[in-house]
Amino acid sequence: MSASPTARTSSPALLLIAALLLGSIAAHAGDDEVTAAALVEEGKTLFRSKDYAAAFAKFRAAADLDKAQPNALYNAALAARKAGLLEDAATAYTDLLRLHGDDLDAVYGLAETQRALAHYEEARALYERYLRDEVRPERTDLKAKATASLAALPPMVARAPTPALERPASDDVAPAPNAQALFEEGQALAKQQKYDAAAARFLAALAADPTRIDALLRAALMMRKHDALDDAKAAYERVLASTTAPEQVLDATYGLAETERLRGDKPQAIALFTRYADNEHRPGEERYAARAREMAAALASELATAAAPGVEPAIASVAAPAFVFFGDALLVDQLVDKARAADAAGNQDAGRTLWSRVAALSPHDARLPAAAPTTCEAVREQALGELAMTERKPDVAVAAFQRARACDPARAAPLWGLSRAFDALGDKKGAKHHAALYLRSNAPDRDATSTSAATWRAEQPD
């Protein structure tokens, strides 16, 4: 059940928001009048700069000052969702619906929020209400998303039959759907590139047999191909919450990384691509691990070199939810244990590399050292080197790879980059030397494909 606005406890997130709210009012203490409209404009500025928690505080303060202020509560809910403050988002949507019970955009937003909070029965009722009442032609795509999200919710908990009602005779019971037949129908539709229909078949197969996680994985892929990215995200996250099978976890992690990249959430995509590449050791999957590393490096470079913020969508309209994905806690715990062991053994290089990986996956982890290392600049320089190689500028690539190596000597990737760049310059001796250095490195970012190529190069005559 959702916590009511009056029954919530004082969590750290709420204390932060309270401080922001007080700061919002204090900043205007010298003014003759604090206007809700001014707070809304400040909230929009903070939203565009992606300071979503502070934006939420401004919008919430505006709504509390003037409940008639257009879009203040809706914007507060949206900013809270982007900040990961889902309980606060639910409260804002609920308050909005108390004032404007027919606001279907708020109904949809609250449904998405309740789904993210795992309040599935509340989400189910809200999706059904939205689909029943929404008739606006411009919301056709949103209705399709709501339909898919509703279908992807976990099955309702079975309830005991009412004693006064008799069970139907066995002859009257409709035969159970055949999960395998539905799955095969989905496969056939996928081959015809009818991705939306294929996703529906795969979800039907899952409903017929909730153990068919492979059907949920295929549904997520179809949603991604159909550009239903919010639904794909929800489906992949449901896979990760439903199984510990290594292959399915890896496939869902890679799929979610691609989905977050397409949704524009670069930090999440980087963390997911990195996690996948660190754990993908299956034969035949080397190219996916290599692509994941390349994508993580390229996205990190884009973040580091962005000259100006992008154009934000209009705040006061339905936007794609951006719920926080908290990463793989088990992997982070394992890395922390290894980093502490390396520190205790006096192995500074290994410890530095391991703490960097912890920081990449869980940047606010309380266990990080006070001066935890970062590989952000090394990743950026590596990406610039790779870009120069694709542009056939090996001399520029050499400089970038050397900067990456100087920034983080524990990484192996710059060594292999230098080997390739020197080879492109015709310096066979330099190429062979750096290939040998790459092979001697025990860095965790080495991969099977590069190791095979480096082995061949190191064996060539000077």
Is residue 309 situated within a structural domain? no
Give me 37's structure tokens. 């409209």
Is residue 398 situated within a structural domain? yes
Q: In the chain, how many domains are there?
A: 4
Is residue 176 situated within a structural domain? no
Task: Give the model confidence (pLDDT) of 265-278 as tens digits.
Answer: 887 888 888 888 88
- Same-domain pairing of 366 and 384: no
d(CA 170, CA 164): 18
CA separation (Å) from 118 to 279, 378, 412? 28, 38, 41
346 torsion bin: left (phi>0), alpha (psi -120 to 50), beta (else): left
Is residue 3 situated within a structural domain? no
* 1 pLDDT above the threshold of 50: no
Mean pLDDT computed over 198-215:
84
Is residue 145 situated within a structural domain? no
CA separation (Å) from 10 to 52, 60, 73, 455? 20, 17, 21, 58
d(CA 28, CA 41): 14
Q: What does the pLDDT read at residue 314?
A: 35
Q: Determine the structural domain holding residue 16 and report its residue range.
A: 12-133
- Same-domain pairing of 362 and 387: no
Is residue 5 situated within a structural domain? no
Task: Give the model confidence (pLDDT) of 288-316 as tens digits.
Answer: 888 888 888 888 777 666 533 443 333 33
The model carries a pTM of: 0.36
pLDDT confidence tier of residue 218, bands split at 50, 70 and 90: very high
- Same-domain pairing of 275 and 338: no
Angle at 288 between CA 354 and CA 183, to 5 degrees: 120
* 29 pLDDT above the threshold of 60: no
- Same-domain pairing of 41 and 112: yes
- Same-domain pairing of 27 and 116: yes
- Sequence-distant (6+) residues with CB within 8 A of 418 are 398, 401, 402, 405, 430, 434
Mean pLDDT computed over 197-204:
83
Torsion of CA 277, 278, 281, 282, to 10 degrees: -40
Across the chain, mean pLDDT equals 74
- Same-domain pairing of 399 and 366: no
Is residue 34 situated within a structural domain? yes
CATH number at residue 399: 1.25.40.10
- Same-domain pairing of 272 and 356: no
Q: Give just the sign of the alpha carbon dihedral 115, 118, 124, 126.
A: negative
Counting every residue, how long is the chain? 462
Is residue 449 situated within a structural domain? yes
* Residue 295 contacts residue 280 (beta carbons within 8 Å): no
* Residue 43 contacts residue 75 (beta carbons within 8 Å): yes
- Same-domain pairing of 365 and 394: no
- Same-domain pairing of 129 and 27: yes
- Same-domain pairing of 189 and 288: yes
Domain boundary among 133, 167, 194: 133
d(CA 325, CA 327): 6
- Same-domain pairing of 368 and 412: no
Domain boundary among 278, 295, 312: 295
Least confident of 249-253, 270-274, 400-404: 400-404
Give me 12's structure tokens. 């750290």
Task: Give the model confidence (pLDDT) of 34-43 as tens digits.
Answer: 688 888 889 8
- Same-domain pairing of 367 and 408: no
Q: What does the pLDDT read at residue 126?
A: 92
d(CA 94, CA 91): 5
